[in-house]
Amino acid sequence: MNSSESKSLVVIGGGGHASVLVDILRSQQREILAIVSPENISQRRIFSGITHLKNDDDILRFSPDSVNLVNGVGMLPKSGLKRKLNEYFLSLGYTFETVISDSAQVSSFAEIEQGAQVFSGAIIQAGVVIDAHTIINSGVIIEHDCHIGEYNHIAPKATLCGQVTTHSNVYVGANATVIQNITLEQGSIVGAGAIVTKNISSEQICYPSRSVLK
Ligand code: JB3
């Protein structure tokens, strides 16, 4: 079986998030066999020359041994689509590609799990663990020893100081700051620009205008 680096790719989703991923993958000379999206994608030049498939089951024409999948469907708070698509194709034996921009700075002492996506300008320091299928968006800073759970979306330019722990399905909004040693429980949401100085309980929301009290 091909190593992951040389396997051809199929991208699920054809919107803004997928366009950023395809930009990275094209710059890394990766072969993209198809974009799979129910909607028209011709309006985005970045996808030109790539086959457009309309149905997710069209992916089944590619064997799990010959392709890796890239989930290009973004992840906003409470959206379960990314996980639903992943779990379906994982159950069929497919592997999701871990995508890391060449302009991201990722410590060789950090661990990035299957299907995670790290975009340009992100900084990931030593001791960090990024669990599966999480999005570390453009310009994000993940400081030392953070553990970021699966299916998180850390939005552009957010900063997580040292030893922050997030559980699954956490959303940290653009330009938010989470100070050191904070825990964000499962499904918690940090609004764009918020400054988090207290732990956030499961499914709770922290708004920019105030920190959450314990
Ligand atoms: O916040 C940032 C920086 N980016 C956001 C990202 C994380 O999430 C972005 O602003 C958007 O809010 C969102 O990006 P996304 O998912 O690219 O949004 P949109 O441009 O609406 O594209 C969604 C794509 O998913 C479209 O091409 C849809 O056709 C496709 N889609 C929806 N459901 C699907 C399905 N594609 C497949 N293959 N299967 C589906 O079930």
Given a cut of 90, is residue 210 above it in pLDDT? no
Share of the chain above pLDDT 90, in %: 91
Number of domains in the chain: 2
- Rounded mean pLDDT of 102-107? 98
Task: Look up 147 and say whether it is catalytic.
Answer: no
> According to the model, what pLDDT value does residue 213 have?
53
153 known member of a binding site: yes
Q: What does the H/E/C string look like for the chain?
A: CCCHHHCEEEEECCCHHHHHHHHHHHHCCCCEEEEECCCCCCCCHHHCCCEEECCHHHHHHCCCCCEEEEECCCCCCCCCHHHHHHHHHHHCCCCECCEECCCCEECCCCEECCCCEECCCCEECCCCEECCCCEECCCCEECCCCEECCCCEECCCCEECCCCEECCCCEECCCCEECCCCEECCCCEECCCCEECCCECCCCEECCCCCCCC
Residue 77 resides in a domain: yes
pLDDT, tens only, 148-181: 999 999 999 999 999 999 999 999 999 999 999 9
Domain C-terminal end among 62, 97, 132: 97
CATH number of the domain encompassing residue 24: 3.40.50.20
Q: Which residues contact 147 (CB under 8 A, 6 or more apart)?
A: 128, 129, 131, 164, 165, 166
Cα-flanking dihedrals φ and ψ of residue 29, to 5°?
55, 35
Residue 134 resides in a domain: yes
Does residue 125 share a domain with residue 67? no
Protein residue whose Cα sits closest to atom 22 of ligand 1: 15
Given a cut of 80, is residue 5 above it in pLDDT? no
Residue 123 resides in a domain: yes
> According to the model, what pLDDT value does residue 75 have?
87
How far is residue 173 CA from its own chain's centroid? 13
Given a cut of 90, is residue 7 above it in pLDDT? yes
Does residue 117 share a domain with residue 197? yes
Residue 3 resides in a domain: no
Does residue 186 share a domain with residue 102? yes
Share of the chain above pLDDT 70, in %: 95
Protein residue whose Cα sits closest to atom 13 of ligand 1: 74
- Residue to substitute in 37, 50, 101 for testing ligand 1 pocket (most ligand atoms within 8 angstroms of CB): 37
pLDDT, tens only, 56-102: 999 999 999 999 999 999 988 888 999 999 999 999 999 999 999 99
- Rounded mean pLDDT of 174-198? 97
CA distances from 104 to 80, 171, 203 (A): 27, 20, 30
- Rounded mean pLDDT of 10-33? 98
Given a cut of 90, is residue 201 above it in pLDDT? yes
**Cα-to-centroid distance, 150 and ligand 1 (Å):** 18
Domain that holds residue 167: 98-202
Does residue 103 share a domain with residue 166? yes
Residue 195 resides in a domain: yes
Residue 208 resides in a domain: no
**Cα-to-centroid distance, 18 and ligand 1 (Å):** 7
Ligand 1 atom closest to Cα of residue 16: 17
- Residue to substitute in 17, 84, 94, 157 for testing ligand 1 pocket (most ligand atoms within 8 angstroms of CB): 17
Of the candidates 17, 52, 133, 144, the residue annotated as catalytic is 144
Does residue 84 share a domain with residue 64? yes
Given a cut of 70, is residue 214 above it in pLDDT? no
Domain C-terminal end among 48, 78, 97: 97
**Cα-to-centroid distance, 73 and ligand 1 (Å):** 4
Given a cut of 50, is residue 2 above it in pLDDT? no
Residue 53 resides in a domain: yes
Does residue 122 share a domain with residue 44? no
Protein residue whose Cα sits closest to atom 5 of ligand 1: 74
2-16, 38-52, 104-118: segment of lowest average pLDDT? 2-16
pLDDT, tens only, 106-128: 999 999 999 999 999 999 999 99
> According to the model, what pLDDT value does residue 153 have?
98
pTM across the whole model: 0.95
Does residue 111 share a domain with residue 197? yes
CATH number of the domain encompassing residue 138: 2.160.10.10
Does residue 184 share a domain with residue 132? yes
Residue 2 resides in a domain: no
1-5, 36-40, 55-59, 111-115: segment of lowest average pLDDT? 1-5
Domain C-terminal end among 75, 97, 119: 97
Does residue 65 share a domain with residue 24? yes
Does residue 104 share a domain with residue 43? no
